[in-house]
Amino acid sequence: MSVEFAQIQIEPAYRKVAAAIGERILSRTLREGERLPSETELARQFGVNRSTVREALRELESRGLVQRRPGSKLMSVARPEPEEVGAGISHALVLNDATVRDVWEALAILEPPIAVAAAAARTQADLEALREANALLAAGSPDTALAVRRTADAFRGIGRATHNPVLGLAQEPLLHLLEPSLRIMIDKVPQARTRIVEAQRQLLQAIAAADRAAAQTWMARHIRDFGRGYELAGIDLSLKVRA
Protein backbone atom coordinates (compact mmCIF):
# COMPACT_ATOMS: atom_id res chain seq x y z
CA MET A 1 0.00 0.00 0.00
CA SER A 2 1.46 3.38 -0.98
CA VAL A 3 1.73 6.18 1.57
CA GLU A 4 1.02 9.75 0.54
CA PHE A 5 2.50 12.77 2.27
CA ALA A 6 1.08 16.26 2.33
CA GLN A 7 3.05 18.93 0.55
CA ILE A 8 5.35 21.02 2.71
CA GLN A 9 3.94 24.49 3.16
CA ILE A 10 6.49 27.17 2.38
CA GLU A 11 5.78 30.15 4.60
CA PRO A 12 6.28 33.60 3.09
CA ALA A 13 9.33 35.46 4.42
CA TYR A 14 7.25 38.34 5.77
CA ARG A 15 5.36 35.94 8.04
CA LYS A 16 8.60 34.56 9.40
CA VAL A 17 9.77 38.10 10.12
CA ALA A 18 6.42 38.94 11.76
CA ALA A 19 6.61 35.75 13.85
CA ALA A 20 10.14 36.56 15.01
CA ILE A 21 9.25 40.12 16.05
CA GLY A 22 5.95 38.97 17.54
CA GLU A 23 7.72 36.37 19.67
CA ARG A 24 9.98 39.08 21.14
CA ILE A 25 6.92 41.22 21.93
CA LEU A 26 4.88 38.41 23.50
CA SER A 27 7.83 37.23 25.59
CA ARG A 28 8.17 40.86 26.84
CA THR A 29 11.74 41.06 25.52
CA LEU A 30 10.38 44.08 23.65
CA ARG A 31 8.22 46.14 26.01
CA GLU A 32 5.20 48.34 25.30
CA GLY A 33 6.27 51.73 23.93
CA GLU A 34 9.73 50.53 22.89
CA ARG A 35 10.69 51.59 19.37
CA LEU A 36 11.67 49.03 16.77
CA PRO A 37 14.69 49.58 14.53
CA SER A 38 14.08 51.23 11.16
CA GLU A 39 12.83 49.16 8.22
CA THR A 40 16.30 49.37 6.68
CA GLU A 41 17.96 48.08 9.84
CA LEU A 42 15.41 45.29 10.29
CA ALA A 43 15.91 44.26 6.66
CA ARG A 44 19.68 44.08 7.30
CA GLN A 45 19.26 42.04 10.47
CA PHE A 46 16.83 39.55 8.90
CA GLY A 47 18.61 39.42 5.55
CA VAL A 48 15.48 40.32 3.59
CA ASN A 49 14.18 43.17 1.45
CA ARG A 50 12.61 46.28 3.00
CA SER A 51 9.33 45.38 1.29
CA THR A 52 9.32 42.10 3.24
CA VAL A 53 9.86 43.97 6.53
CA ARG A 54 7.16 46.48 5.61
CA GLU A 55 4.65 43.68 5.00
CA ALA A 56 5.61 42.02 8.30
CA LEU A 57 5.05 45.28 10.17
CA ARG A 58 1.65 45.70 8.51
CA GLU A 59 0.64 42.27 9.78
CA LEU A 60 1.84 43.06 13.30
CA GLU A 61 0.02 46.40 13.17
CA SER A 62 -3.24 44.69 12.16
CA ARG A 63 -2.87 42.47 15.24
CA GLY A 64 -2.39 45.52 17.45
CA LEU A 65 1.17 44.57 18.44
CA VAL A 66 2.89 47.60 16.90
CA GLN A 67 1.86 51.12 15.97
CA ARG A 68 3.40 54.23 14.49
CA ARG A 69 3.21 57.05 17.02
CA PRO A 70 2.44 60.59 15.78
CA GLY A 71 5.59 62.37 14.68
CA SER A 72 7.70 59.20 14.53
CA LYS A 73 8.85 57.26 11.50
CA LEU A 74 9.56 54.18 13.61
CA MET A 75 7.11 51.55 14.75
CA SER A 76 6.66 51.11 18.50
CA VAL A 77 5.50 48.10 20.49
CA ALA A 78 1.80 48.46 21.35
CA ARG A 79 -0.75 46.67 23.48
CA PRO A 80 -3.99 45.61 21.76
CA GLU A 81 -6.98 47.47 23.18
CA PRO A 82 -9.83 45.28 24.52
CA GLU A 83 -12.33 46.74 22.03
CA GLU A 84 -10.02 45.89 19.11
CA VAL A 85 -9.58 42.33 20.39
CA GLY A 86 -13.31 42.04 21.01
CA ALA A 87 -14.14 43.21 17.50
CA GLY A 88 -11.97 40.47 16.00
CA ILE A 89 -13.58 37.75 18.14
CA SER A 90 -17.06 39.09 17.45
CA HIS A 91 -16.39 38.76 13.71
CA ALA A 92 -15.41 35.13 14.27
CA LEU A 93 -18.64 34.53 16.22
CA VAL A 94 -20.67 36.10 13.40
CA LEU A 95 -19.01 33.80 10.87
CA ASN A 96 -19.72 30.82 13.16
CA ASP A 97 -23.45 31.62 13.04
CA ALA A 98 -23.91 32.82 16.63
CA THR A 99 -27.52 33.83 17.31
CA VAL A 100 -29.15 36.51 19.46
CA ARG A 101 -30.02 33.74 21.94
CA ASP A 102 -26.39 32.57 22.05
CA VAL A 103 -25.18 36.06 22.96
CA TRP A 104 -27.93 36.58 25.52
CA GLU A 105 -27.25 33.21 27.19
CA ALA A 106 -23.51 33.88 27.26
CA LEU A 107 -24.11 37.25 28.91
CA ALA A 108 -26.39 35.58 31.47
CA ILE A 109 -23.57 33.18 32.36
CA LEU A 110 -20.70 35.68 32.34
CA GLU A 111 -22.01 39.01 33.62
CA PRO A 112 -23.31 38.10 37.13
CA PRO A 113 -19.89 36.73 38.26
CA ILE A 114 -18.25 39.83 36.75
CA ALA A 115 -20.52 42.01 38.90
CA VAL A 116 -19.58 39.93 41.97
CA ALA A 117 -15.86 40.32 41.18
CA ALA A 118 -16.33 44.08 40.70
CA ALA A 119 -18.04 44.40 44.09
CA ALA A 120 -15.06 42.63 45.66
CA ALA A 121 -12.24 44.41 43.85
CA ARG A 122 -13.47 47.92 42.98
CA THR A 123 -11.44 50.94 43.96
CA GLN A 124 -12.53 54.51 44.56
CA ALA A 125 -11.38 55.39 41.05
CA ASP A 126 -13.55 52.59 39.66
CA LEU A 127 -16.58 53.91 41.54
CA GLU A 128 -16.02 57.39 40.17
CA ALA A 129 -15.83 56.01 36.63
CA LEU A 130 -19.00 53.95 37.18
CA ARG A 131 -20.83 56.99 38.56
CA GLU A 132 -19.83 58.99 35.50
CA ALA A 133 -21.01 56.19 33.19
CA ASN A 134 -24.29 55.98 35.09
CA ALA A 135 -24.78 59.74 34.90
CA LEU A 136 -24.34 59.70 31.12
CA LEU A 137 -26.77 56.80 30.84
CA ALA A 138 -29.35 58.50 33.06
CA ALA A 139 -29.05 61.76 31.09
CA GLY A 140 -30.64 59.98 28.16
CA SER A 141 -30.29 60.73 24.46
CA PRO A 142 -32.66 60.72 21.48
CA ASP A 143 -29.78 59.14 19.57
CA THR A 144 -30.40 55.39 19.92
CA ALA A 145 -26.87 54.46 18.88
CA LEU A 146 -25.45 56.72 21.59
CA ALA A 147 -27.80 55.27 24.23
CA VAL A 148 -26.74 51.75 23.27
CA ARG A 149 -23.08 52.73 23.36
CA ARG A 150 -23.47 54.19 26.84
CA THR A 151 -25.18 50.99 28.00
CA ALA A 152 -22.29 48.89 26.68
CA ASP A 153 -19.80 51.28 28.30
CA ALA A 154 -21.55 50.83 31.67
CA PHE A 155 -20.97 47.07 31.35
CA ARG A 156 -17.35 47.71 30.38
CA GLY A 157 -16.87 49.86 33.46
CA ILE A 158 -18.04 47.00 35.67
CA GLY A 159 -15.66 44.67 33.84
CA ARG A 160 -12.73 47.04 34.42
CA ALA A 161 -13.64 47.27 38.12
CA THR A 162 -12.83 43.55 38.49
CA HIS A 163 -9.16 44.31 37.72
CA ASN A 164 -9.12 40.99 35.88
CA PRO A 165 -8.15 41.57 32.24
CA VAL A 166 -9.37 38.10 31.25
CA LEU A 167 -12.92 38.94 32.35
CA GLY A 168 -12.81 42.29 30.56
CA LEU A 169 -11.65 40.68 27.33
CA ALA A 170 -14.19 37.87 27.68
CA GLN A 171 -17.14 40.25 27.82
CA GLU A 172 -15.97 42.53 25.00
CA PRO A 173 -17.02 40.47 21.95
CA LEU A 174 -20.42 39.84 23.54
CA LEU A 175 -20.96 43.56 24.04
CA HIS A 176 -20.09 44.14 20.37
CA LEU A 177 -22.73 41.61 19.33
CA LEU A 178 -25.31 42.84 21.84
CA GLU A 179 -25.45 46.34 20.40
CA PRO A 180 -27.44 45.68 17.17
CA SER A 181 -30.29 43.83 18.94
CA LEU A 182 -30.25 46.36 21.79
CA ARG A 183 -30.79 49.17 19.27
CA ILE A 184 -33.93 47.47 17.99
CA MET A 185 -35.20 46.76 21.51
CA ILE A 186 -34.65 50.31 22.77
CA ASP A 187 -36.49 51.74 19.75
CA LYS A 188 -39.47 49.38 20.03
CA VAL A 189 -39.91 49.05 23.80
CA PRO A 190 -40.55 52.48 25.41
CA GLN A 191 -39.75 51.33 28.96
CA ALA A 192 -36.44 49.71 27.98
CA ARG A 193 -34.33 52.81 28.59
CA THR A 194 -35.69 53.48 32.08
CA ARG A 195 -35.31 49.83 33.09
CA ILE A 196 -31.68 49.80 31.90
CA VAL A 197 -30.93 53.00 33.83
CA GLU A 198 -32.54 51.62 37.00
CA ALA A 199 -30.68 48.30 36.76
CA GLN A 200 -27.35 50.06 36.29
CA ARG A 201 -28.15 52.38 39.22
CA GLN A 202 -28.84 49.40 41.46
CA LEU A 203 -25.65 47.71 40.27
CA LEU A 204 -23.64 50.81 41.10
CA GLN A 205 -25.11 50.89 44.60
CA ALA A 206 -24.35 47.20 45.17
CA ILE A 207 -20.78 47.50 43.88
CA ALA A 208 -20.17 50.66 45.92
CA ALA A 209 -21.41 48.85 49.05
CA ALA A 210 -19.25 45.81 48.20
CA ASP A 211 -22.48 43.79 48.34
CA ARG A 212 -21.63 40.78 46.20
CA ALA A 213 -25.00 39.10 46.57
CA ALA A 214 -26.91 42.21 45.49
CA ALA A 215 -24.51 42.76 42.58
CA GLN A 216 -25.08 39.21 41.36
CA THR A 217 -28.86 39.45 41.81
CA TRP A 218 -29.21 42.75 39.97
CA MET A 219 -26.95 41.74 37.11
CA ALA A 220 -28.82 38.46 36.62
CA ARG A 221 -32.12 40.42 36.67
CA HIS A 222 -30.67 42.97 34.23
CA ILE A 223 -29.72 40.32 31.67
CA ARG A 224 -33.05 38.49 32.10
CA ASP A 225 -34.76 41.80 31.38
CA PHE A 226 -33.04 41.93 28.01
CA GLY A 227 -34.73 38.63 27.14
CA ARG A 228 -38.11 40.09 28.09
CA GLY A 229 -37.32 43.18 26.02
CA TYR A 230 -36.49 41.03 22.98
CA GLU A 231 -39.86 39.31 23.37
CA LEU A 232 -41.75 42.61 23.58
CA ALA A 233 -39.82 43.98 20.59
CA GLY A 234 -40.62 40.88 18.55
CA ILE A 235 -36.96 39.98 18.05
CA ASP A 236 -36.46 36.38 16.92
CA LEU A 237 -33.81 34.91 19.25
CA SER A 238 -32.79 32.43 16.57
CA LEU A 239 -31.65 35.26 14.28
CA LYS A 240 -27.94 35.20 13.50
CA VAL A 241 -26.13 38.17 14.98
CA ARG A 242 -24.25 40.67 12.88
CA ALA A 243 -21.19 42.69 13.75
The yes-or-no verdict on residue 235 having pLDDT over 60 is yes
Question: pLDDT, tens digit, for every residue of 133-160?
Answer: 999 999 888 888 999 999 999 999 999 9
Count of domains in the chain? Answer: 2
Residue 2 covered by a domain = no
206 or 141: which leads in pLDDT: 206
Residue 6 covered by a domain = no
Domain with residue 22: its CATH number is 1.10.10.10
Domain with residue 89: its CATH number is 1.20.120.530
Give burial (CB, 10 Å; 0-12/13-18/19+) of 111. Answer: buried
If asked whether residues 61 and 92 sit together in one domain, one would say: no
Look at residue 92 in the predicted model and tell me its pLDDT: 84
If asked whether residues 90 and 200 sit together in one domain, one would say: yes
Look at residue 1 in the predicted model and tell me its pLDDT: 56
pTM metric for this prediction: 0.80
If asked whether residues 151 and 219 sit together in one domain, one would say: yes
Query: Mean pLDDT over all residues of the chain?
Result: 92
Cα–Cα dist 34/69, whole Å: 11
If asked whether residues 92 and 174 sit together in one domain, one would say: yes
The percent of residues above 70 in pLDDT, for the chain, comes to 99
Nearest residue to 13 (alpha-carbon basis) of 52, 45, 43, 39: 52
**What residues make up the domain containing 222?**
82-233
If asked whether residues 45 and 158 sit together in one domain, one would say: no
